[in-house]
């Protein structure tokens, strides 16, 4: 153990300032982490030991994930692929609203082609749950929390049952935009696939048996020709949109507002975000509002 402690101090901690305050843990919070804390304190760092170790912390996280979502005023953004739900979340955050960005925590867009642009791996399920717990515990339960309508699974990460059920029952705002505007956004956000066409083909082949072989062949040909506009348009119309509608059909939360807009400009999202904050602040159960906007 002493050799291991010396190795860490020499190779990882030597350059740390005197103000460094490390938290040390092992599985049960026993002698291993206790000995490490003792040595770090002897050096001069204000080290602390995680009581009960990672095992106790993990139990605490899971228990909190069962209760924290029930205390929050969730407000769900729903709409088909390419209508700017994630961009709207970011705009809401910029205006000071509370936002739960599940795709950012999972490092995945939640769709077949939703991997991170740089190909970075997703967090483990445990790491995802810890990050989610950390986000949930910071929210003010008296204020709305905006979240995007997601599948239960975001790539390889799964939403905890309590949060998933709370989202499905929460009030919803639906977003709608013309297919051409949505296509332009999808081409921009998924443009990285142009540089990894082999992987793109492999991903689409996972739909074998879900869509006809002739359709898969057309998709492969469009990739070879570099016609990503035709590919993404067909994917949205044939696969993404029907799948999204089918999934949302089982959600029970009331639709409290509907926004239909013609462009996906910065001004549009700023306007939508401001209206959403006002609607969420004044929302009361059973109240339904419909609003239309086409601001450029």
**DSSP run (H or E) holding 78:** strand 73-78
Under 8 Å between Cβ of 143 and 96: no
Q: Which of 9, 26, 169, 216 is catalytic?
A: 26
| Residue indicated by tokens 């492999």 | 202
Tokens of 163: 């949060």
Angle, vertex CA 118, rays to CA 175 and CA 90, nearest 5: 30
- Spell 240-270 as b/e; 16+ CB within 10 A means b: bbebbeeebeebebebbbbbebeebeeebbe
Q: Is 26 a catalytic residue?
A: yes
Tokens of 228: 């990503």
Q: Please, how many CA atoms are within 13 Å of residue 265, restricted to the half-sphere of its CB?
A: 9
Which residues participate in catalysis according to the annotation?
26
């Amino acid at each position: 153990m002493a050799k291991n402690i010396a190795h860490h101090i020499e190779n990882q901690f030597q350059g740390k300032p005197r103000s460094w305050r490390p938290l040390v843990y092992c599985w049960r919070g026993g002698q291993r982490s206790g000995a490490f804390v003792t040595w770090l304190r002897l050096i001069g760092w204000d080290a602390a030991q995680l009581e009960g170790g990672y095992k106790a912390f993990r139990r605490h996280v899971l228990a909190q994930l069962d209760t924290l979502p029930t205390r929050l005023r969730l407000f769900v953004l729903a709409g088909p692929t390419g209508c700017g739900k994630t961009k709207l979340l970011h705009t809401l955050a910029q205006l000071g609203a509370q936002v739960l960005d599940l795709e950012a925590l999972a490092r995945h867009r939640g769709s077949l082609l939703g991997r991170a642009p740089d190909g970075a791996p997703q967090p483990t399920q445990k790491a995802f749950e810890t990050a989610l717990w950390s986000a949930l515990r910071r929210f003010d339960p008296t204020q709305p929390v905006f979240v995007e309508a997601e599948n239960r699974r975001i790539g390889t990460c799964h939403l905890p049952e309590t949060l998933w059920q709370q989202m499905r029952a929460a009030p919803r705002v639906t977003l709608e935009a013309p297919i051409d505007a949505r296509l332009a956004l999808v081409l921009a956000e998924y443009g990285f696939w142009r540089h990894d066409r082999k992987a793109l083909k492999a991903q689409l082949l996972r739909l074998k048996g879900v869509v006809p072989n002739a359709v898969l062949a057309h998709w492969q040909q469009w990739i070879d020709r570099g016609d990503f506009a035709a590919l993404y348009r067909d994917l949205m119309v044939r696969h993404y949109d029907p799948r999204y509608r089918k999934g949302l059909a089982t959600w029970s939360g009331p639709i409290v507002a509907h926004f239909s807009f013609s462009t996906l400009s910065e001004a549009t999202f700023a306007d939508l975000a401001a209206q959403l904050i006002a609607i969420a602040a004044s929302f009361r159960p059973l109240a339904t509002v419909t609003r239309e906007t086409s601001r450029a």
